[in-house]
Structure 1
Amino acid sequence: MTSEGETPTKKEVLFPQIGEVVDATDDEGKPTEIESYCVNCEQNGVTRLLLTRIPHWRDIIVMSFECEHCGFRNNEVQFAGVIAEKGCTYTCEISSPEDLDRQLVRSESASVKIHEIDLELPSSNTQRGSLTTIEGLISAIIDDLSSEQPARKYTDEETYKKIEVILERLKAFRENREKCTISVNDFAGNSYIENLCAPNPDPKLNIRYYNRTREMNIALGLNVDSCADDEEDTAKKDHLQNNVIKDLQANEKEEELRGDDKVSEVMIFPTNCSNCNTPSDTRMHMINIPHFKEVVIMSTACGYKSNEVKAGGPISPQGKRIKLKIVDIEDLSRDILKSETCNLIIPDIDLELTTGTLGGRFTTIEGLLRQISDELQQRVPFASGDSVKEERRKTFANFIEKLNKVISGEVLPVHLILDDPLANSYLQNLYAPEPDPNMLIEYYDRTWEQNEALGLNDMNVENYEANNDEDSVDKNPN
């Protein structure tokens, strides 16, 4: 604390951006140097530490060791941020020189697999995090496999020949003479493969997020002592959520019977913050959207604020597609409920949000578009910085400019499409209960693939205790 008359000191920035470090001329911008033991010649070398931030990505620690006695050098990257909420798997098809230039972040907990040759680099507590490219990764694998080949040729000729075949394939991949598919699986969620089409989906890149198992949490050093196994823990959470929703419904019914104008009770239960994992409170409230259905709004505040909307009621038998022609500023003020299963498309500016992006949101069209703009500028990795090609930088800047012009109403009309296979999304009708001349609502039958992705093909709600195997829904007959 500062005494009266003293000026409070400015908060120290531990993780400046790389550009700020490069431009810094004072001693504060230089890396920290520490005298360290050299494992190669057993004398002392110098380790340099730099706390920095990759733009739109994460805080990292760059470490470099150099020994002036024997010339040995070593470097690695460690993440300084929090562990992601879920694990992730990036799968990318490499078929052009541009794909080989994709930047790749591989954390200490990530495993890498090249599918065509069934080659896998497993995760290990001893491996170092790295920031490289696809070509750099393949080159590193080639160097590692080639290092012992001269000795192996005379001591184990059979293994030598097998590795030579793999090396030839890897060189073909590196020189783009042959296509390959690379997967990076990281249960810490801290690895990444660059999206060359950002902010749009990359047709060559598939991203899948998944919940970690108990064993994965233990490997990451997370506190799981108070948790039971995964199935019991999931059952407890489901039971808690069901009780909370039942309490919300009971409170609303009581309010209706009393005829009060007061807002029904907001339920509060303890959770952990998704950003810093600090214990915090989540608030839940169930409301009824006119001409739609009941929804549950959840909000968590811990300095970092987040909110989400869950649709209530049964699963719709059909999917729903809403098409709106936005013709003036007034249309941007329409209420919109975008569920977590909804795809949002604005074809006029080539904007497409796939299922799961931004989660569930209940806001206005303008508010949602502003959030999309902010998220793209703050969280799209490698969309700016010294390593980005000028062509890609201009493409991304032009897209953000077009999106902001739609938000401000300079570029109208445009078409907004909400495609939700569960029909849990909603767009306000300004002419309700009459039809909206600028809005078209279509219902369609879900495909087998959509039902499979939503887990509906294997769902059984009748006689499941008697004979679950016989009564389960048949899978794809093809």
Structure 2
Amino acid sequence: MTESETGNSESPFQDLDVDRLEVNVIESLCFECGKNGITRLLLTRIPFYKELVISSFECPHCGYKNNQLDPAIEIKPQGVRLTLSVEEKADLDRYVITTDYTCVRVPQLEFEIPSMSQKAQVTTVEGVIDKTVVNLSHQKDQLFETNAEFASKIDEVINGLNSIKSLNKPVIMSFEDATGNLFISNPNAPQADPRMHSIAFTRNNEQNTMIGLAAENTQDSMIKPLGSFNDEAVNNINDEVVQFNGPCPNCTQMCDTNMKVTDIPYFKQVVIMATNCDQCGYRTNEVKPGGGIEDQGVLIKVKVTAPEDLNRDILKSETCDLLIPDLEFEAGALSLSGRFTTIEGLLTSLQDQLSKTASTFYKGDSQTGEVALNTEVFLDKLEKIKKCEMPVDILLRDPAGNSYVQSLTPPTLDPKLTITKFDRTEEQNEELGLNDMKVDGYGEK
């Protein structure tokens, strides 16, 4: 996920704080009766996720009501699929944020809620089940007299969905969104989620058409790796900062993006890009490794025990997972953006993101009080690591092979640094867009 910051003084979006949120109330036309009703708009920012526009309309004349949720950021470069094993009450209470393009599947029931069939919503896993049961019950009642056989099959699905809430046995639920704007909370945060698996996938032409992206222009709109440039072009911009103007992804006003190609000793060339919008305060920092995807993935383990270890240069690509086994922590490639920094800088960025999450997203919520407490304990441990009071191993797992940690003893072997190559799985190839197969599978991975 690309790291972004939006200036609070300029942006109309507010942090998710129930004590200070301001709701805009406007008079608007009711499409049911033609008279005026009331629309309430809330522009809010959910930390670790994105900005949202939540609207609620109510007509006092005919009683018509409508609630809607719309994302306020750009479509992600890849879609996302989250596979959840529902085993405990905490799984039913997980927060779920969907878009109009979210598809929900329950493989064990051979049941699917297709994309574009439900509006975007903020709910829970149990809320998704309950709403689906209500909708299916209406359909069953309407079909009972005309198609009793089909109505009985709907009844079987309803019973199966209700049985998920009994928690008698684990049930797999798959949530897939072609826009990449899908969120399911982790009740064990900041520790790794033992019952949810995430994968980013490359959209096919049908999915691009569905979300309004021209299939033939999709690849051109994405930032290309350095390997797509010819050698002459690379030599001309190497060690020079190139600036170009383009629309801001947040407010669409024109802003400047700086790009620099640089060499990392004993590794490869990388493209560093930074965008800063003076209009809304939006900022991004991205690192794109050159040379394309490597033949094998790479697992890098570095022991952090002294200040010199914290000062090691580190390149974490946008396809790389960050793991700290001693803290039972794992941040997937979707959680942290690609960046070229130091180990201390990476830990500081992690601290900042988790601190913001703990102070806003979990504030005042009884269901997530334990998560907030665990996050505070985790942040204390991160601080001890930065003070070299707590030795740990930090792992980078990158299926694209485009991540790097500086050796302190080049070209001889660094005793604190271990680099292991591995062959990618079919799932990892799919995530990197190396498979031609259509993305339509689901279920437990």
**Aligned-partner residue type, residue 37 of structure 1:** C
Distance 1:157 1:414, change over 3 A: closer
Match of 2:115 in 1: 123
Aligned to 1:397: 376
- How far apart in 2 are the matches of 1:410 and 1:105? 38
Are the equivalent residues in 2 in contact too, given 1:345–1:351 (CA < 8 A)?
Answer: yes
Separation in 2, partners of 1:151, 1:457: 46
Aligned equivalents of 2:10, 2:253: Cα separation in 1: 22
Change (3 A) 1:277 1:245: farther
- Partner in structure 1 of residue 129 of structure 2: 138
C-alpha distance in 1, partners of 2:334/2:28?
A: 48
Hey, what does 2:235 align to over in structure 1? Answer: 249
CA contact 1:47–1:63 (8 Å) conserved in 2: no
Write the distance in 2 (CA, Å) between the matches of 1:192 and 1:310. 25
Tell me by how many angstroms 1:32 deviates.
1.0
Name the structure 2 match of 1:333: 311
Which amino acid is 1:295 matched to? Q
Post-superposition CA distance 1:171-214 (Å, at most 9, x none): 11233345432223222333322222333432322223334456
Q: CA deviation at 1:120?
A: 2.2
**SS of match in other structure, 1:203:** coil
Q: Which residue of 2 aligns with 1:361?
A: 339
Q: Which amino acid aligns with 2:381?
A: K
Q: CA deviation at 1:365?
A: 1.1
Which amino acid in structure 2 is aligned with residue 114 of structure 1?
Answer: V
Q: How far, CA to CA, are the matches of 1:30 and 1:339 in structure 2?
A: 39
TM-score normalized with structure 1 length: 0.73
Does residue 425 of structure 1 match 2:403?
yes
Question: Which moved further from structure 2: 365-374 or 351-360?
Answer: 351-360
Distance 1:52 1:289, change over 3 A: closer
Cα 1:247/1:203, change in 2 over 3 Å? same
CA distance in 1, matches of 2:11, 2:317: 37
Asked which structure has the greater RCO (Cα within 8 Å, sep 6+), the reply is 2
Mapped pair 1:92 → 2:84? yes
Structure-2 change in CA distance of 1:368 and 1:136 (3 Å): same
User: Which residue number in structure 1 is paired with residue 178 of structure 2?
Assistant: 187
How many Å separate the matches in 2 of 1:454 and 1:45?
48
1:198 to 186, 189, 200: 189
Instruction: State the Cα distance separating 1:228 from its structure 2 match.
Output: 4.2
Q: Aligned with 2:234: secondary structure?
A: helix
Between the aligned partners of 2:52 and 2:107, the Cα distance in structure 1 is 30
Q: Which one of 5, 14, 25 corresponds to residue 32 of structure 1?
A: 25
Structure 1 counterpart of 2:275, from 301, 313, 321: 301
**Structure 2 unaligned spans of 5+:** 1-7, 437-445
Q: CA deviation at 1:297?
A: 2.5
1:38 and 1:45 in contact (8 A); partners too: no
SS of equivalent residue, structure 1 residue 196: coil
Quick one: which amino acid aligns to residue 267 of structure 2?
Answer: K
**SS of residue matched to 1:64:** strand
Over 3 Å counting, the alpha-carbon distance change for 1:211 and 1:343 in structure 2 is: closer
CA distance in 2, matches of 1:322, 1:455: 19
Matches of 2:399 and 2:118 in 1, distance apart?
42
Which residue number in structure 2 is paired with residue 104 of structure 1? 96
1:287 counterpart residue number: 262
Cα–Cα, structure 1 residues 55 and 308, in superposed 2: closer, same or farther, change >3 Å? Answer: closer
How much does 1:429 deviate?
Answer: 3.2
Q: 2-side partners of 1:247 and 1:154: how far apart?
A: 70
Q: Which residue of structure 2 aligns with residue 441 of structure 1?
A: 418
CA contact (8 A) 2:225 2:292 kept: no
SS of equivalent residue, structure 1 residue 172: helix
Please provide the CA RMSD for this pair: 3.9
Distance 1:383 1:423 in 2: 34
Aligned-partner Cα distance in 1 for 2:231–2:258: 12
SS in structure 2 at match of 1:207? strand
- Matched letter for residue 81 of structure 2: T
- 1:276–1:139 CA distance, 2 compared to 1 (3 A): same
In our comparison, the structure showing a higher alpha carbon Rg is 1
- Structure 1 Cα separation of the partners of residues 102 and 428 of structure 2: 31
Residue matched to 1:415:
393
Structure 1 residue 276, shift from structure 2 partner: 4.8
Note the C-alpha offset of 1:432: 3.9
How far 1:284 sits from its partner (Å)? 4.2
Alignment deviations for residues 30-63 of structure 1 (CA, whole Å, 9 cap, x no partner): 5515365373xx4857434032425414443333
- SS in structure 2 of the partner of residue 201 of structure 1: coil
Superposition deviation, residue 446 in structure 1:
2.9
Whether the 8 Å CA contact 2:13–2:45 is kept in 1: the answer is no
Instruction: Give the aligned partner of residue 469 of structure 1.
Output: none
State the AA in 2 paired with 1:34.
E
Q: How does 1:35-74 map to 2 (within 5 A)?
A: 36-37=29-30, 39=32, 42=33, 44=35, 46-56=37-47, 57-68=49-60, 72=63, 74=65
Instruction: Tell me the alpha carbon deviations over residues 1-23 of structure 1, each in whole angstroms, 9 at most, x when there is no partner.
Output: xxxxxxxxx96763334535x45
Q: Deviations over 1:269-294 (max 9, x none)?
A: 6666555555655544443333x133
1:306-321 matches, within 5 Å, as 306-312=284-290, 320-321=298-299
Contact 1:106 1:131 in 2 (8 A): yes
Within 5 Å, which residues of 2 pair with 1:154-193?
A: 154-193=145-184
Rounded to whole Å, the distance in 2 between the matches of 1:406 and 1:357 is 21
- 2: CA distance, partners of 1:73 / 1:250: 62
Q: Is the 8 A contact 1:101 1:134 kept in 2?
A: yes
Kindly provide the amino acid, as one letter, of the partner of residue 25 in structure 2. T
Counterpart of 1:403 in 2: which secondary structure?
A: helix
What's the secondary structure of 2:229's corresponding residue? helix
Residue 90 of structure 1 and its aligned partner are, at CA, apart by 2.4
Q: Does 1:371 align with 2:349?
A: yes
Tell me what 2:5 maps to. Answer: none
| CA–CA distance in structure 2, aligned partners of residues 184 and 103 of structure 1 | 13
2:200–2:431 CA contact under 8 A, matched in 1: no
SS, match of residue 389 in structure 1 = helix
- Who is 2:3 aligned against? none
Cα 1:182–1:271 shift into 2, 3 Å: farther
Aligned residues: 422
